[in-house]
Chains A and B, each alone.
Chain A
Amino acid sequence: MTTTSSSLRIWAPAAGVVALIALTLTALAVLGGRTLPDRAGPPIEELAVEQTLLTPGEIELTVRNTGADPVRVAQVFVNDAYVDFSGGATAIDRLESSTLRLHYPWHAQQPYAISILTSTGAVIEHEIPAAVATPQPDGGFFGLMTLLGTYVGIIPVVLGMLFLPTLRRIGARGVRVLLAVTVGLLAFLAVDATLDAFELAKESGGAFGGPALVVLGGLLAFLALSAIDHRLSRDRTETGGLRLALLISIGIGLHNLGEGLAIGTAYAVGELALGVTLVVGFAIHNTTEGLAIVSPLTRRRPPLGTLLGLGAIAGAPAILGAVIGGTVSNPELSGFLLGIGVGAIAQVIVQLVPAVRDKAGRLLDPATVGGATAGLLAMYLTGLLVTA
């Protein structure tokens, strides 16, 4: 009886407040709008092109209304010639999307300026820097993306893990330095991915928040990994080293998801310079990631299966990313996924920091500072290697 009455005492006023808020909002909606003048300016018509598919004789655009007002697509011209098209026959409301199929004899590797003429005479432009047939998501395509993901994700990470026996011989101080190196590596990845994510998100037109979505992805990943970490540390049988290695694997895996995404997207728009340089460049760059995973394992002898599992967790998401990037080339989604990777890495760094401290609890002694610096420089320099 008392429980019921006390919960009633708590909830009754709350319900009253909610009712009052609802009432006020309704009144505002009905009456308040009329007390203010209409917008003085013209309609705000914005369309973001989320996806461009090129098939012989046809350019397909998926557009989303990112503006305040409905957009009615009246006509479309490509490189200053009006074209026949289908789709988008009715007004596109805010945040709604529509698919326009333009009948146009585009040629491979040429640039195209697509101008969407709206019912008010406004022109919304979209550039295709170089037209390339969109890969069909068939067996060959998935095979190729899997191969790419394996080359740039799994193989380099596993190669990096081969350093484990060497690491075992370097002693406690050596391990601390090594972990500092890992922190440096990861910090650089986080910064690099953040910049990329914001750039992508800016491109998207921001129907769903653009850059804010990157931050959201990062925070959600950070919180989710923190929760996972909490569960793992409650498990008494699990000791620090393997737990940390698993967390690093997950973090790097989420990062490689973004990396695979970028590769798949670049492939889909024909910008990917495939071949030797890509594979070798990534191999060198990502080998350091394998090193990061095994650095907490120097005092353990995990079974080979566990090590391979860790490698797969870190590397395999690159395959998934490549497939996603190659099929749904959506800058806003890419930005969000990259943000997730950043959040994951940030969480891993937070996890690693205690292990870098020495017995007196100091974090930044010359050795660890040197290690972190080496990690940053290693990532920066191997990054240059693939940029050249």
Chain B
Amino acid sequence: MSTPEPPEHENTGSSRRRFLLGGALAGTAGAAALGLGGALTASAEGTRGTPTGHGGHSSAHGGGVTGPTFRTGSTVDHTTNGFHPTDVLRDFDYGRTSRMADGRTLREWDIYASDEDIEIAPGVTFPAWTFDSRIPGPTLRCTEGDRLRVRFHNGSAHPHTMHFHGIHPAEMDGIPGAGDGVIEPGGSTVYEFDAEPFGLHLYHCHVGPLAEHIARGMYGTFIVDPKQGRPDADELVMVMHGYNTTFDGEGNQLYAVNGVPFHYMHEPVRVRRGELVRVYLVNALEYDPINSFHLHGNFFDYYPTGTRLEPSEFTDTIVQAQGQRGICEMRFKYPGQFMFHAHKTEFAELGWMGMFEVVE
């Protein structure tokens, strides 16, 4: 998070004020003579409060005590944005499939880069660069061994690429100088490679300045399912990210999962009690070195990068650096609302928090 600049007036504190602040060398004799020191001090304490006094505690109903929030009643216009964070959760794009001569599955996608003004928080417009006009970009899903063909069309005013995490030939890496390299505005290219290894991956633009191209919104989830599949579950995608609205490259002003800060506080993620819930959790956050995920009232099995079928840990909090991801599997024992948020609580209070609503 951006640390505010030290305020200017702290350094240029008024000499008048220093003058007034000062204790004088003037002795106590004068006080006795005038007999007023005590009276003034007493009146002052009434207003100033003591170190143990809590100026704000008498108001238990203020927004601050009950947790961070945007201005009450203000919401984002998802219709104008063209995507809805609640839909993003379970929106998996398997592409157009066909059978190849060797019997393998070919999956094809057309992905469009575009510049979009997105209302990222109520009343705040962000000039985003996107894949398919949404943040995060579409969740591309396939099975290990599939042939993947991604046609990338750059409709943005800026040069972009699609760089996939995974195992692929160098010319399919989607970086400047490899294959078709940088795709200029109006241009297009095809990224084609085999889906390996199975696990939870991501894709993002890889044009410099890299941090900005990513932070503007150019990232998405790339899931390669193991051939044998995973147990049936209610599957959710959560991409953790932020918005550096001031573009100063010094942290972010807003943090979110799936596009809109605090969204799942207003629209909790509904899941069923006792049902297996699988969260594909990806950290696409820029400008801050780590992100984290913490679940209330429950624990989960964690599969780092999803590349093994055995969990590495049973926990309620995990940490991910930039580009790290992992699968969280959980069953809720009790009905009701359970919060989830970054346990880097600063991010939580700047938007990265939400609720599960467990129903029967």
Contacts and interface: CB of A to CB of B under 8 A. Distances in A.
Interface of A: 54, 56-58, 72-78, 80-86, 102-109, 113, 115, 117-123, 125-127, 129, 131-133, 135, 140, 144, 147-148, 151, 192, 195-196, 199-200, 202-203, 262-263, 265-267, 270-281, 283-284, 383, 385-388
A275 B71 contact: no
B124 A119 contact: yes
Interface string B39-70: 11101101111110111111101111100111
Interface in B1-45: 1-2, 4-5, 7-10, 12, 14-28, 30-31, 34, 36-37, 39-41, 43-44
B59 A123 contact: no
A283 B62 contact: no
B125 interface: yes
Contacts of B124: 74-75, 117-121
A106 B261 CA distance: 24
A106 B57 CA distance: 8
B235 interface: no
Interface of B: 1-2, 4-5, 7-10, 12, 14-28, 30-31, 34, 36-37, 39-41, 43-44, 46-51, 53-59, 61-65, 68-72, 74, 121-126, 243, 245-247, 253-254, 261-262, 346, 349-351
B15 A195 contact: yes
Nearest to B23: A277
Given A119-B125, A125-B4, A386-B24, A105 B43 contact: no
Contact of B245 (A81, A85, A122): A122
Nearest to A122: B246
B65 A105 contact: yes
A139 to B, nearest CB: 12
B24 A81 contact: no
**Interface-central residue, B10, B23, B56, by most chain A CB under 10 Å:** B56
Given A105-B62, A121-B245, A123-B245, A278 B24 contact: yes
- The A interface is mostly helix, strand or loop, or mixed, namely mixed
Given A80-B349, A84-B72, A119-B125, A56 B59 contact: yes
Contacts of A118: 124
A274 B9 CA distance: 22
B245 A57 contact: no
B122 A271 contact: no
A103 B49 CA distance: 20
Contact of A77 (B36, B47, B54, B350): B350
Contacts of B55: 54, 56, 106-108, 131-133
A275 to B, nearest CB: 5
Contact of A103 (B4, B17, B62, B70): B62
A140 B5 contact: no
Contacts of A123: 2, 245-246, 253
Contacts of B51: 108-109
B4 A74 contact: no
Given A113-B4, A121-B124, A151-B36, A82 B351 contact: yes
Contacts of A129: 7, 10
Given A107-B56, A121-B125, A151-B36, A273 B22 contact: yes
A203 B49 contact: no
A195 B262 CA distance: 47
A57 B23 contact: no
Contact of B47 (A58, A85, A270): A270
A83 B350 contact: no
Given A135-B47, A203-B9, A103 B121 contact: no
Contacts of B34: 151, 279-280
A78 B46 CA distance: 26
A57 B59 contact: yes
Contacts of A148: 40
A385 B123 CA distance: 53
28 contacts: A77-B349, A78-B64, A81-B346, A82-B351, A84-B63, A86-B71, A107-B56, A108-B51, A117-B253, A120-B125, A121-B243, A125-B7, A127-B10, A133-B55, A140-B43, A144-B43, A147-B36, A147-B39, A192-B15, A202-B12, A203-B12, A203-B14, A272-B21, A275-B37, A279-B40, A281-B22, A386-B19, A388-B24
A278 B44 CA distance: 13
Contact of B49 (A108, A140, A199): A108
A74 B63 contact: no
